[in-house]
Structure 1
Amino acid sequence: MVIDSGSERRALVVEDDEDIRSLIEFTLSTQGFEVSAVESGTAALEAVRTLDPDLITLDLGLPGIDGIETCRRLREITEAYVVMITARNEPIDRLLGLETGADDFIAKPFDAHELKARVNAMFRRPRRPSAAAAAPAPVGASGPGSTHEVLEHGVLRVDVDGRRAFKEDQELALTRTEFDLLTELMRSPARVWSRETLLRSVWGTEWSSDTHLVEVHIGNLRRKLGETKDRKFVRTVRGVGYRMESSDT
């Protein structure tokens, strides 16, 4: 395992196949990442605490702790983008991977150019804020002279610059992707957002076949918002996409 925390952008490759691991390492290094690699989920959990990576690529079929459980545990200790890269390409594998907190899912065999494009798209999205920027913003702090953009919709509040979301003043434990989805929806709450539009605006991708990414992350977001049968925050517009439910609901 190679660890060097001196680079501005760090990536951790979690892959037990040497050839694939080398390919991913090379691909990410050409994108300017300082790349470290491990071969198991246990080693990944240890490395994350040392590295604090910005990006993690994660195989599902790892020895010992598998990729699903590794991802679940990673989400407890890191906000890094997680891309699952795996030969297990059944819909249930994608679903489980995304539900445990992965931001994207690429099937083997994969094209290095596709990996580059997806990673570049993710890093065009807002980065994790500094400790100072993450300080809670007061309600209404989006007015003239404010340094924070704050969105409000009913009992929901999003501090965009601090990247914090609240429901009835209780902070929500959202992943980066869930936060970005909620922010996009709340910026135009009456708008109906198609899955393809959300793919472009949140993931920065044009792969229309990846609309499942939107569907799964919307489902994750709904659960964290505490939706019930009688209380909805995100409404599905059949055949079109999604919009925010009325703030009076």
Structure 2
Amino acid sequence: MSEPSATAVRVLLVEDDEILRRTVALVLERYGYQVETAADGLTGLELFRSTPFDVLLLDVMLPGLDGIGLCRRVRETSLVPVLMMSARGDGLDVVAGLEAGADDYVVKPVDDFVLLARLRSLLRRAAYAPVGPDTGDTPAGQPETPAAGLLSFGDLAIDTLGMEVTVAGEPVALTPTELRLLLELAASPGVVLSRHTLLRNVWDYGWDGDSKVVALCVQRLRKKIGEGRIETVRGFGYKLRR
């Protein structure tokens, strides 16, 4: 699968600051993105429900329905990638946004190139499954699978070809980021992966900032696949139990 072209990508930008809204829209359009904008959360929700979008860019502080609430409403029906914009540097908005189901965040004022990089990263995570070299052999420590592309850990089953996850036979809806995190952990069951490694491989960029994005995504994933499946190794990282 090839990386989606920017000219084919539809972005919903919800930002109440008119100058920032126009500036961000112009930047995205300059690079070929198709942008629809809204100045408040309720209008953004109406646009989302009436028009298909490939990625959402949501400000946290919005009149009416704020960005956190809008993200929660979106997640009721869709796994579309969501990038939150936060004006606060203390992390409170970041935590709330990630817990609501956002995939990533940027802090305002937004650097154009950082914003574009984060959007491209989200789109790649939505389009790809993380794969390594195809040697035809089962990696060391990998559980034997009854069918090609199927990983099984107890009643947790991961179809790496169809990108589907089930627990006890019931389908589990994961966001693209949650799915990539699970696939990354499942590729090395029983092996501790550091937060830095997960940020690099799952979030697709080097990041020297806080790693709470990993912890919160793990927390969301645990709620969906079972609390005891992902073990925290304090001071080191996380591992998927065999």
Cα contact 1:234–1:243 (8 A) shared by 2: yes
User: Residue 3 of structure 2 corresponds to which residue in structure 1?
Assistant: none
Q: Is the counterpart of residue 141 in structure 1 residue 137 in structure 2?
A: no
User: Residue 3 of structure 1 corresponds to which residue in structure 2?
Assistant: none
CA distance in 2, matches of 1:126, 1:106: 18
Residue 72 of structure 1 aligns to a residue whose secondary structure is helix
User: Residue 116 of structure 2 corresponds to which residue in structure 1?
Assistant: 116
Cα contact 2:84–2:105 (8 A) shared by 1: yes
User: Residue 39 of structure 1 corresponds to which residue in structure 2?
Assistant: 39
- Following TM superposition, the consecutive aligned residue runs of length 4 or more in structure 1 with deviations greater than 3 angstroms are none
Gaps of 5+ in 2: 1-6, 130-144
User: Residue 140 of structure 2 corresponds to which residue in structure 1?
Assistant: none
Superimposed CA distance per residue, residues 81-136 of structure 1 (whole angstroms, 9 cap, x where no aligned partner): 1111121333222111101110111111121111111112222224289xxxxxxx
User: Residue 191 of structure 1 corresponds to which residue in structure 2?
Assistant: 191
Superimposed CA distance per residue, residues 22-55 of structure 1 (whole angstroms, 9 cap, x where no aligned partner): 1221222233321111111111111112321111
Identity of aligned residues (%): 40
User: Residue 159 of structure 1 corresponds to which residue in structure 2?
Assistant: 159
Q: Is the counterpart of residue 244 in structure 1 residue 232 in structure 2?
A: no
Give, in angstroms, the shift of residue 163 of structure 1: 2.1
User: Residue 146 of structure 1 corresponds to which residue in structure 2?
Assistant: none
CA distance in 2, matches of 1:173, 1:89: 31
Cα gap change, 1:166 to 1:105, in 2 (>3 Å): same
CA distance in 1, matches of 2:155, 2:19: 50
Superimposed CA distance per residue, residues 144-188 of structure 1 (whole angstroms, 9 cap, x where no aligned partner): xxxxx2222222111223222111111112211111111111111
- Give the structure-2-normalised TM-score: 0.85
Cα contact 1:128–1:163 (8 A) shared by 2: no
Cα contact 2:86–2:94 (8 A) shared by 1: no
User: Residue 11 of structure 1 corresponds to which residue in structure 2?
Assistant: 11
CA distance in 1, matches of 2:229, 2:226: 9
Q: Which residues in structure 2 correspond to 1:72-221 (within 5 Å)?
A: 72-127=72-127, 140-142=146-148, 149-221=149-221
Give, in angstroms, the shift of residue 240 of structure 1: 1.1
CA distance in 1, matches of 2:114, 2:161: 29
Cα contact 1:10–1:51 (8 A) shared by 2: no
Residue 53 of structure 1 aligns to a residue whose secondary structure is coil
Q: Is the counterpart of residue 25 in structure 1 residue 21 in structure 2?
A: no
- Give the structure-1-normalised TM-score: 0.83
Give, in angstroms, the shift of residue 204 of structure 1: 0.5
Cα gap change, 1:45 to 1:207, in 2 (>3 Å): same
In structure 1, give the amino acid aligned to 2:232.
T
Number of equivalent positions: 221
Residue 162 of structure 2 aligns to a residue whose secondary structure is coil
Residue 26 of structure 1 aligns to a residue whose secondary structure is helix
Residue 125 of structure 1 aligns to a residue whose secondary structure is helix
Cα contact 1:13–1:56 (8 A) shared by 2: yes
Residue 157 of structure 2 aligns to a residue whose secondary structure is strand
User: Residue 134 of structure 2 corresponds to which residue in structure 1?
Assistant: none
- The root-mean-square deviation of aligned C-alpha atoms, in Å, is 1.8
